[in-house]
Each structure stands twice: as structure tokens, then as C-alpha cells.
């Protein structure tokens, strides 16, 4: 098995606001079993909001991010400088 990322956190800052993503432990109840998911903590306007992505949601989010990445790269690669703007 590869290196664990259980202690790693991805953070991005927006001025005073921030969002963090990390791998966290949780569980299913019926039947009970320990599982992992992506934990999300957002700090917005001084308020903390917690959430998470279960495995299936993570798969869909990764598909979206890959599609967005391709779209952004293609657009940026084809974007031409506008020399009329100073």
C-alpha cells in the first residue's frame, strides 16, 4: 500500500476566508464498518462550516475537476493577449 495521506491537508485562502480538504475517518451504520471520506472545513465570514464527500461523491467530484482542468487548460492555451488593454 502507498504512503498514507491521513495527516495531509489541502488549504486554499480567499482573503480572510479559507477552505480545507483532508482524509478523515467516519463510519457506516448498517452494517457498522469504519470508512474514510474527504472532510471539508470552510471558514467563511468568521463562521466554520463542516462537510464531507463520501467515496461515490468524491469520484464524481474528481470527474468534474478533470473536465474543468481540461477546459481551463484548452482555453488558456488558446487565449491570445489583448494588446489594446493597458
Closest CA to 36 of 49, 18, 19, 24: 24
Q: Convert the pLDDT of each residue in 22-59 to its tens digit.
A: 999 999 898 999 999 999 999 999 999 999 999 999 99
**Residue 53 C-alpha from the chain's centroid:** 9
Whether pTM > 0.85 for this model: the answer is no
Handedness of CA 23, 60, 70, 81 (dihedral sign): negative
Which residues are CB-neighbours of 61 under 8 A, at least 6 positions away?
Answer: 53
Cβ atoms of 52 and 37 within 8 Å: the answer is: yes
Amino acid at each position: 500500500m502507498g504512503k498514507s495521506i491521513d495527516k495531509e491537508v489541502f488549504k486554499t485562502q480567499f482573503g480572510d476566508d479559507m477552505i480545507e480538504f483532508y482524509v478523515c475517518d467516519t463510519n457506516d451504520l448498517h452494517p457498522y464498518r469504519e470508512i474514510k471520506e474527504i472532510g471539508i472545513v470552510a471558514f467563511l465570514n468568521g463562521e466554520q462550516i463542516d462537510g464531507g464527500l463520501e467515496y461515490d461523491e468524491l469520484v464524481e467530484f474528481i470527474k468534474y475537476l478533470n473536465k474543468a482542468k481540461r477546459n481551463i487548460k484548452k482555453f488558456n492555451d488558446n487565449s491570445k493577449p489583448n494588446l489594446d488593454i493597458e
